[in-house]
Amino acid sequence: MKIRIHGGRLIDPASGLDEIGTLCVADGRIVAAGESPEPFTADREIDASGLVVCPGLVDLQARLREPGQEHKGTIESETAAAAAGGITTLCCPPDTDPVTDTPAVANLIQELARRAGNTRVLPIGAMTPGLRGEQICEMFILSQSGCVAFSNAERAIVNTEVLRRAMEYAATHDLTLFLRPQDPWLSANGCAHEGAVSTRLGLRGIPGFAETMEVARLLTLAEQTGARIHLGPLSTARAIQMIGRAQYDGLPVSASVSAHHLHLTELDINDFDSRAYLRPPLRTQRDREGLHRGLVRGVIGAICSDHQPHDIDAKLAPFAESEPGATAVETLLPLSLRLADHGVLSLSEVIAALTWRPARILGIPAGTLSPGAAADICIFNPERYWTVAPETLVSQGHNTPLMGWELKGRVTHTLLEGRLVYQLKG
Amino acid sequence: MRYRDIQLDENGRLRHFLSIEGLKRQMLMDILDYAENFITVGGRSIKKVPLLRGHTVTNLFFEPSTRTRTTFELAAKRLSADVLNININTSATTKGESLLDMLRNLEAMHCDMFVVRHAQSGAAHFIARHVAPHIRVINAGDGSHAHPTQAMLDMFTIRRHKGEFADLRVAVVGDILHSRVARSQIHALTTLGVHEVRVIGPETLLPQRVEELGVHVYHHLPAGLEGVDVIIMLRLQRERMQGALIPSEREYFELYGLTEEKLAFAKPDVIVMHPGPINRGVEISSEVADGPRSVILEQVSNGIAIRMAIMSMIMGNRFGSEEEEQ
C-alpha cells in the first residue's frame, strides 16, 4: 500500500521540517517527506490542503481501564478515542486490575491493543508487586515483555529503602521510572488545591508542597542511584523550578504535564463541579504560568493527556466522593494548540511536546516523519472549531471539564504504520 | 459560571438555600425582616400558620443531628407542612448512585422540599442540581462548606441585640478549618457589612488564605477579643487531637477557651454566641456559657423563626404577614 499525502503543511520538529509538501508512505514506512520521490505511484491520495501533517502523537499517560474496569473503558474503545485524537503511541500506567506486575498482564494489554489495531500501546510495568511498595517487580522480565517504563502509578512508595533499591535496580538495567510525585500524608483525603478555593468550599486541600516534598525526595534518590526518572504529570510551578535545577546539574530527569493543567486552574472547580476533580489537583494561576514557563524553557519535555475515562456514576456524587480524572485523549491536541494560539509556544514546539520529545523520553524511535520511520501520522485542521459534546467524543467516558467548550483544531486523519485508523466524518 | 446562582431563580428570588455566598445584602435583610414575623408565633397558644399547608418537607440527614433537625422539624410543622424525617447512616450510602436513587424515590413520593445534612462539602449543591425542578433544597450543613440557616439565625440574634451591623466588630474563635458554621457566618457578616470580622485560632485550625474571605487573623485570644461586640465560639471536635492539630483539650482551653477573664478584653456589652453543642471546659467555661453575656439559648429559639422564614420564602411566600392568621 502506497499513500501520498499532498498539499499539507508538514511539521516534523525532530528533523526541523516545516513546509508545504508531500509525504509519501510505502509498506507502513515513510519514504519521503517534502519532495515526492520519482517515480512514486500511490494507491491512495490524501489531499491535505489547509491541513497540518505531523507525526502521530505520543501520549505518556493514558488509562485504558482494561483489564479490570471495563465499565469505564476498554482497550478497544479508548484506543479508538486516542486515534481520533491523533495519538498513535500511548503508555498505560500499571494500576490495572490485576496490576501490570506480571508478563501475563503486560502481554494481555498488548494483545488486546494489537487486536483493536487503533494505536500502539506500550504498557508501563509496576515497580512493586501489587503497587504495595514492599518489594521490587521483575522489571527486567517485564521490559522483555514490552513494558517501556516502570511506575508505581498513583501510589507513593512510602518506604524510602524500597524506593532506593527500585531506583538502583532500574539504573542497573537501564530502565526508565515514571513517578508521580505526591506526598501521601500531605495529600491524604484531599481533593482540591489547598488554597483560596478549597478554603471557600470547605474541601480538604492538597497543598502544593505535597508535590515538591516528594520531588525533593525523588531527586535526592535519583542523584544517589543514577536512575533515569520521569516525573509527571506535574502541577506546581515550584516543582518545575526544582526539576530545572536538577537538569542543569546533569541529572537524567524529565518531566511532563497534562494539557488540563496548562489551561485550567482551581477556579474551574467553581461550585463543586466534579468534572474538574483531577489528580494532581488543578492549582493556581501562578502555577499554571509556571508550567507554561517550564515548557518554554524545555524543563517539561512532554504534554500528556492523563486520560481517565469514567462511567457516569463515578462523577455523580458530592465532589470529594466522586472519582478524579477526565477523559482527555481527544482534547489533548486542541488544548495544546491553544498554547500556540496564545503565543506561549510556536506550533512546531507544541507538536514537539506531543511527538518526538515524549518519544525521546521513552527512548523509542517514534514521533518523527523522517524517511525510514514508521508511518505514524496525524493530520489535523488547525482552524476547524468543534464543540466538546457526548456525541463528538469517541471515548466511552464523557467526563471532561471541557464539556460544552468550543475547541479549535480537529484531527481529520490518523495513520498507524501506514494504515488509516481514523478519519473524521463530515 | 455554569453553576452560579443555582439557588436563585431567573427572577433572582430564592429557589434553594444552599450557601450565603452569592446572596446579596438586601436578600439577607429580607430574610431577617421576614423572620421577625415568626418570632411571635412560638409564643402563642396555637403555634401554627398555614403557609406550607399541603406541602411535604423531608429532613434528609446523612449525619447525626439533634438540634438542627428538631428546629427544622418544628419550623416546618409550625408552617403546617407534613414532615418526613429520614436519618441515613452515612456508611451505608457512600455511593452517589444510591444517593441519587434515594432522591428519585422521594421525588416519586411527591416531596416538595429537602432539608439536607451531609458529611461532604457540596452535597447540598449536588442534590439541588439533580432534583426535579419543582423541588426546593435547604442546606442544613454540608461537610466543612456551609451551614447557612445557622449563620442567618446568628445574624438575627446579633441584630436583635445590636441593631445595626455597620459598626460591629465580630470575633469567630476556634476551629475555623473544619467549620461550615464559620464559613457561612463570615460570608453573612461581610455581606451585611460589619466593620470587622476576626478569626482567632492556632494556625493549625485556620484554613489556607482565610484572609481572602475578608477577615483579620489573630492567633492570640486576648488581642483578638480587644474591643469586639460579638464573640462567636466554635465547637472543638474531639477527634482534632488525632490529626495532630492541637496537643490536648487542656492546652486548647488554656489558650483559646473563653473565660470570664478573657471576656474582659471585649467590650462591656459584648454578646457571646455558640452554635452548639457546647464542650464545657474545652472552648468555653460554664460561667461564660451560662453567664449574662451569653445568648446561646436565644440562638436556638431564633433558629425556628429563621427556618420558618427561609422555608416559607423558598416555597414562594413573600413578605407581609397577612396570611399569618389561624
A320 and chain B: CB distance < 8 Å anywhere?
yes
Q: What is the pTM of this model?
A: 0.93
Question: Is B319 inside a domain boundary?
Answer: no
Q: Give the number of other Cβ atoms within 10 Å of residue B191's Cβ.
A: 22
CB-CB contact of A35 with A22 (8 Å): yes
Of B94, B96, B208, the CB nearest to A313: B96
The residue segments making up the domain with residue B262 are 148-299
Flag whether pLDDT at B323 surpasses 70.
no
User: For residue B212, what are the contacts with CB-CB under 8 A and spacing of at least 6?
Assistant: A196, A199, A200
B286 and B244 in a common domain: yes
B167 and B210 in a common domain: yes
Domain with CATH 2.30.40.10 in chain A: 2-53+374-423
Burial of A239 (0-12, 13-18, 19+ CB in 10 A): buried
CATH number at residue B45: 3.40.50.1370
Q: What are phi and psi of A62, to 5 degrees?
A: -145, 130
B37 and B131 in a common domain: yes
Question: Is B117 inside a domain boundary?
Answer: yes
The CA–CA distances, whole Å, from A366 to A12, A59, A89, A363, A402 equal 11, 11, 8, 9, 29
Question: Is B31 inside a domain boundary?
Answer: yes
CATH number of the domain at A56-362, please?
3.20.20.140
Question: Is B19 inside a domain boundary?
Answer: no
Beta strands in A67-184 (DSSP E): 87-92, 120-126, 149-151, 176-179
B192 and B119 in a common domain: no
Inter-chain touch B213–A273, beta carbons under 8 Å: no
Of A199, A203, A317, the CB nearest to B99: A317
Cell numbers standing for residue B2: 455554569
Q: pLDDT (tens digit, 9 = 90+) per residue, B50-77?
A: 999 999 999 999 888 888 999 999 999 9
B223 and B204 in a common domain: yes
B95 and chain A: CB distance < 8 Å anywhere?
yes
B97 and chain A: CB distance < 8 Å anywhere?
yes
Minimal Cα–Cα distance from B101 to chain A, Å? 11
**Residue ranges of the alpha helices (H) in chain B?**
25-39, 67-78, 96-108, 123-130, 148-162, 180-191, 221-225, 249-256, 260-263, 286-289, 296-314
Query: CB pairs below 8 Å between A and B: how many?
Result: 91
What sign results for the dihedral spanned by CA atoms B291, B294, B298, B303?
A: negative
Flag whether pLDDT at B98 surpasses 80.
no
Number of domains making up chain B: 2
B171 and B283 in a common domain: yes
Architecture of domain A2-53+374-423: Roll (2.30)
B157 and B95 in a common domain: no
Flag whether pLDDT at B286 surpasses 80.
yes
Interface confidence, given as ipTM, is 0.91
Picking from A185, A197, A204, A272 by the largest number of B CB atoms within 10 A of its own CB, the best residue to mutate is A272
Inter-chain touch B100–A316, beta carbons under 8 Å: yes
DSSP character string of B108-120: HTT--EEEEEESS
Beta bridge partners of B87: B61
Minimal Cα–Cα distance from A213 to chain B, Å? 18
B229 and B130 in a common domain: no
pLDDT in tens, chain A (426 residues): 899 999 999 999 999 999 999 999 999 999 999 877 778 889 999 999 999 999 999 999 999 999 999 999 999 999 999 999 999 999 999 999 999 999 999 999 999 999 999 999 999 999 999 999 999 999 999 999 999 999 999 999 999 999 999 999 999 999 999 999 999 999 999 999 999 999 999 999 999 999 999 999 999 999 999 999 999 999 999 999 999 999 999 999 999 999 999 999 999 999 999 999 999 999 999 999 999 999 999 999 999 999 999 999 999 999 999 999 999 999 999 999 999 999 999 999 999 999 999 999 999 999 999 999 999 999 999 999 999 999 999 999 999 999 999 999 999 999 999 999 999 997
B260 and B141 in a common domain: no
Domain with CATH 3.20.20.140 in chain A: 56-362
How far apart are alpha carbons B140 and B146 in whole angstroms? 8
Q: CA-based angle A174:A175:A180, to the nearest 5?
A: 140
Q: pLDDT (tens digit, 9 = 90+) per residue, B114-172?
A: 999 999 999 999 999 999 989 999 999 999 999 999 999 999 999 999 999 999 999 99
Question: Is B2 inside a domain boundary?
Answer: no
CB-CB contact of B58 with B111 (8 Å): yes
DSSP code at position A56? P
**Residue B94, pLDDT score:** 53
Restricting to B residues 115-134, those with a Cβ less than 8 Å away from any Cβ of A are 118, 120-123, 125-126, 130
How far apart are alpha carbons B58 and B147 in whole angstroms? 17
Inter-chain touch A313–B180, beta carbons under 8 Å: no
How far apart are alpha carbons A119 and A100 in whole angstroms? 19
Question: Is B322 inside a domain boundary?
Answer: no
B186 and B56 in a common domain: no
B180 and B163 in a common domain: yes
Residue A306 among the catalytic residues:
yes
Flag whether pLDDT at B241 surpasses 90.
no
B135 and chain A: CB distance < 8 Å anywhere?
no
**Residue B320, pLDDT score:** 43
B161 and B137 in a common domain: no
How far apart are alpha carbons A110 and A46 in whole angstroms? 30
Of A202, A270, A321, the CB nearest to B94: A321
Chain B hits for A270, Cβ within 8 Å: 1-4
User: For residue B188, what are the contacts with CB-CB under 8 A and spacing of at least 6?
Assistant: B20, B28, B148, B151, B152, B154, B155
Minimal Cα–Cα distance from B96 to chain A, Å? 4
Question: Is B177 inside a domain boundary?
Answer: yes
Pairing of strands B113-118, B169-173: unpaired
User: How many residues are listed for chain B in this entry?
Assistant: 326
Minimal Cα–Cα distance from A265 to chain B, Å? 14
Restricting to A residues 28-87, those with a Cβ less than 8 Å away from any Cβ of B are none
- Active-site annotation holder among A306, A313, A341, A376: A306
How far apart are alpha carbons A323 and A318 in whole angstroms? 10
Inter-chain touch B121–A195, beta carbons under 8 Å: no
